[in-house]
């Protein structure tokens, strides 16, 4: 099976490509820019998803493709990144191109909580991408993971490793609890849904079995790194209010 993977240099995308290649899949990686880690396989596609807003931007890259896994995502808008372009515009064009090309199997990564009543700007654009896929005549699967943690130092994993290295842990007031999910479990879920006999046209939340306070998640990292428990201090509201952990 030949699989096109977008967001192939990110935490989930890079790990997925490595696992698929090890299992004998042919991988076409879609990268935002050159410079990703070396990968033995088919040549990558260099494409800015935020600017690939027409089906013709995607169609040439879908020739010979059996399935698509969309792992692309950005946390916030910046001069270089567009949440709406990647999550909604680019994703919608990709899904339309898949329908035109007859690439029926599409697995799409969204995020847990995007359908809540008062979504953030990030969640609103993710939900728009979900809805665009649901409207297509495809064998789609939408995966909505919680905070994904794994061995690679990337994204949330990098954040927690950085916090675990501090001698004192700054605790945000009213941070809430996290149902973190292991990267290996996320990859195993994708492998399941790539099977030809798997279910489709479903949306799944991916979360761990326990809701843990952020300090406990950091403590797990400290134990994994061989460090003793860190002290904690709660940031005062005047300091904490302009700060948000971006997971």
Instruction: Give yes or no for a contact between 15 and 188, defined as CB atoms under 8 angstroms apart.
Output: no
So what's the pLDDT on residue 64? 97
So what's the pLDDT on residue 239? 56
Q: In which residue ranges of the chain is pLDDT below 70? A: 35-37, 153-155, 173-175, 236-247
Instruction: Give yes or no for a contact between 171 and 240, defined as CB atoms under 8 angstroms apart.
Output: no
So what's the pLDDT on residue 142? 99
SS3 61: helix
The CATH class given to the 2-148+181-207 domain equals: alpha beta
Among 157, 170, 137, 126, residue whose Cα is nearest residue 225: 157
Instruction: Give yes or no for a contact between 222 and 228, defined as CB atoms under 8 angstroms apart.
Output: yes
Q: Where are the domains of the chain?
A: 2-148+181-207
β-pairing, 231-234 vs 168-171, is: parallel
- What is the DSSP secondary-structure string of 172-188? -TT--EE--EEHHHHHH
So what's the pLDDT on residue 246? 39
Query: What digits encode the pLDDT tens for the residues 11-21?
Result: 999 999 999 99
Within 29-149, residue ranges assigned H as helices are 55-58, 83, 91-101, 121-134
What pTM was estimated for this model as a whole? 0.87
Query: What digits encode the pLDDT tens for the residues 56-112?
Result: 999 999 999 999 999 999 888 787 889 999 999 999 999 999 999 999 999 999 999
What angle is formed at CA 31 by the lines to CA 195 and CA 8, rounded to 5 degrees?
A: 35
Cα atoms in the Cβ-side hemisphere of radius 13 Å centred on 198: 19
Among 6, 12, 4, 8, residue whose Cα is nearest residue 146: 12
Q: What is the DSSP letter of 228?
A: P
β-pairing, 26-31 vs 177-178, is: unpaired
Handedness of CA 105, 3, 151, 185 (dihedral sign): positive
């Amino acid at each position: 099976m030949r699989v096109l993977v977008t967001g192939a240099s990110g935490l989930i995308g890079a790990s997925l490509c490595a696992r698929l290649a090890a299992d004998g899949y042919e991988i076409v990686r879609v990268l935002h820019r050159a410079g990703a880690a070396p990968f033995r396989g088919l040549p990558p596609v260099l494409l800015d998803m935020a600017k690939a807003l027409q089906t013709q931007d995607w169609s040439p890259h879908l020739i010979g493709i059996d399935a698509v896994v969309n792992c692309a995502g950005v946390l916030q808008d910046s001069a270089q990144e567009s949440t709406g372009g990647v999550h909604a515009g680019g994703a919608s064009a990709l899904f339309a191109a898949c329908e035109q090309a007859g690439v029926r199997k599409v697995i799409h990564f969204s995020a847990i909580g995007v359908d809540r009543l008062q979504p953030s700007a990030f969640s609103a654009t993710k939900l728009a991408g979900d809805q665009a896929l649901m409207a297509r005549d495809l064998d789609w699967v939408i995966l909505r993971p919680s905070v994904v943690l794994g061995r690679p130092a990337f994204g949330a994993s990098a954040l927690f490793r950085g916090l675990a290295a501090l001698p004192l842990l700054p605790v945000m007031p009213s941070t809430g609890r996290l149902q973190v999910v292991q990267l290996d479990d996320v990859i195993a879920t994708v492998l399941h849904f790539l099977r030809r006999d798997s279910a489709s046209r479903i949306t799944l939340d991916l979360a761990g079995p326990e809701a843990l306070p952020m300090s406990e998640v950091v403590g797990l990292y400290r134990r994994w790194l061989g460090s003793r428990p860190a002290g904690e201090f709660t940031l005062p509201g005047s300091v904490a209010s302009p700060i948000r952990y971006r997971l």
